[in-house]
Amino acid sequence: MAGEFFSLVRMPLIAFVGGFLVVGGWIWAPQISSLVQSQFSGGPSVSMFADTNRIGRPEVAPVVRSCIFKVMDIGVDATKMEPSAAYFILKAGSMQANVSTMLGKSDGWSEIQKGNLAASWGQLASCIYALEDRQLCDPDNRAAAVEATMKFFGYAKQIEGSMPGSDARAMENLRDRLLIVLKNHRRYGTLIASDFGSFAPAEILQVMRSEQKETRDICKR
Amino acid sequence: MDFLKRAAFVLGGIFLGINLINYFVMGHTGDYLPGGERMGEWRAAKIREACYPALEAPERDGLLPKLSTDTHRVDWRDLDRTRDMTAALNCYLVTHPNAVCERNNRAYIVDYINHYFAKFDEMMNTAKRYGEAEMSTVRKLWDSPRNRAINAALLQDTSSGRLIKADFGWSVPTAMKPMLDRYKGTSDNCPKA
């Protein structure tokens, strides 16, 4: 009986799934492509599998409001622009760089662009971490910190070796500073390994998964 | 008989799949509104094009929704959508009060009203996560002079029978249910052609 039913529904099911894949694929292909790219090329975004109680919406985070215009030079429009829109511009620039990488267009210009993106995300992460530690107890703020950190490390890795000496040193210093800050936040319990997901750059995972036990959870105060 | 059953299942699957894609992926929710004498073809609505100018520069209209505070969690895309939807619906209902009397326009406007209230509900659901202060920010955002004019126009249209519950089919927005129920059975006062 069950077999007969299955044989009856099999064809419409295949037709439906096939149709959905074709039409849905056509419509969602750009998003899927950029998602895959952001996961594996330009430093992943916030993990898709992260706990939603811990990781919120980075674009509306108060820390982004405080920091984004220190990183993005929007000009006179900055006063009229919503911080979440400026954050979106930074993300859109990252997507564009990811597409260039995907298409194999790795010329001088795209290297400079990646360098700028690494610097911007790094400055954003630094600015966020310079604020009060407890700010990262807020899921949106935490998401912004996680995303900025991962993007910085992702782009920094891509341009490794292709930067002039002074820029490379500055990038290295920023990287070291961020790793120290990450260690501290791990101890405070404001950031944990799962916030970064499984596709985080190796340096981050190394810090977040180190054996050292967290000493306190400042968010529970 | 077996062949007929199989064919019916295949055709049913294709029909269901096409409709699910049309509704959820393409977002053509207007296709699923009730038909009949009162409701025409939403795609043929002339009011849509007539109101394009209202959407050209919504930022210049000081009466459209504005955020009342800088400390909010409203995404700029939601903010833009709120302004656009308010500007459009204001044009459909307030600037052109008789547009809803035409069958095609009515179908389009009813569909738009559904989207308008769905967006408000969606933003309120997001705001709920952040507490009462954020919910109040969203409520204030959706309480601009244009939004209030839309509400007044909706009340006017339901009280005069220009919009009735049957026009919305199974998708009556919660916010509109009380007024549609209150004026149930009212015959419309649209100017006769």
Measure CB to CB from residue B17 to each of A9, A16, A65 and give the nearest one.
A16
CA A171, CA A126: separation in Å to the nearest integer? 12
Closest CA to A179 of A150, A204, A213: A204
Does one domain contain both B28 and B122? Answer: no
Does one domain contain both B106 and B156? Answer: yes
Does one domain contain both B127 and B168? Answer: yes
Does one domain contain both B107 and B141? Answer: yes
Burial (CB count <10 Å: 0-12, 13-18, 19+), residue B85: buried
Report yes or no on B145 lying in a domain: yes
Q: For residue B13, what is the nearest residue in chain A, using CA coordinates?
A: A12
Å between B39 CA and nearest CA of chain A: 29
CB proximity list for A75: less than 8 A, separation 6 or greater: none
Q: For residue A28, what is the nearest residue in chain B, using CA coordinates?
A: B25
pTM of the model: 0.79
Does one domain contain both B42 and B28? Answer: no
Highest-confidence segment of A30-34, A92-96, B23-27, B124-128: B124-128
A12·B9 Cβ contact <8 A: yes
Q: What is the ipTM of this complex?
A: 0.76
What confidence score (pLDDT) does residue B144 get? 96
B10·A12 Cβ contact <8 A: yes
What confidence score (pLDDT) does residue B65 get? 95
Report yes or no on B189 lying in a domain: no
CA A26, CA A31: separation in Å to the nearest integer? 10
Residues A145-168 pLDDT 10s: 999 999 999 888 888 777 777 778
Does one domain contain both B106 and B140? Answer: yes
Question: How many distinct structural domains can be found in chain B?
Answer: 2
Spell out the domain ranges in chain A.
41-220
B10·A15 Cβ contact <8 A: yes
Does one domain contain both B80 and B140? Answer: yes
Residue A199 structure tokens:
């596709």
CA B78, CA B142: separation in Å to the nearest integer? 11
Please tell me what DSSP assigns to residue B60: G
CA B69, CA B60: separation in Å to the nearest integer? 19
Does one domain contain both B28 and B46? Answer: no
- Among the residue ranges A76-85, A150-159, B43-52, B102-111, the one predicted with the least confidence is A76-85
List CB contacts (< 8 A) between B9 and chain A: 8-9, 11-12
Residues B25-57 pLDDT 10s: 888 888 888 888 889 999 999 999 999 999 998
Does one domain contain both B10 and B99? Answer: no
Residues B168-192 pLDDT 10s: 988 899 999 999 999 888 888 888 7
Residue range(s) defining the domain that contains residue B24? 1-32
Cβ proximity of B113 and B81 under 8 Å? no
A82·B5 Cβ contact <8 A: no
Angle between helix B103-128 and helix B76-90 axes, rounded to 10 deg? 150
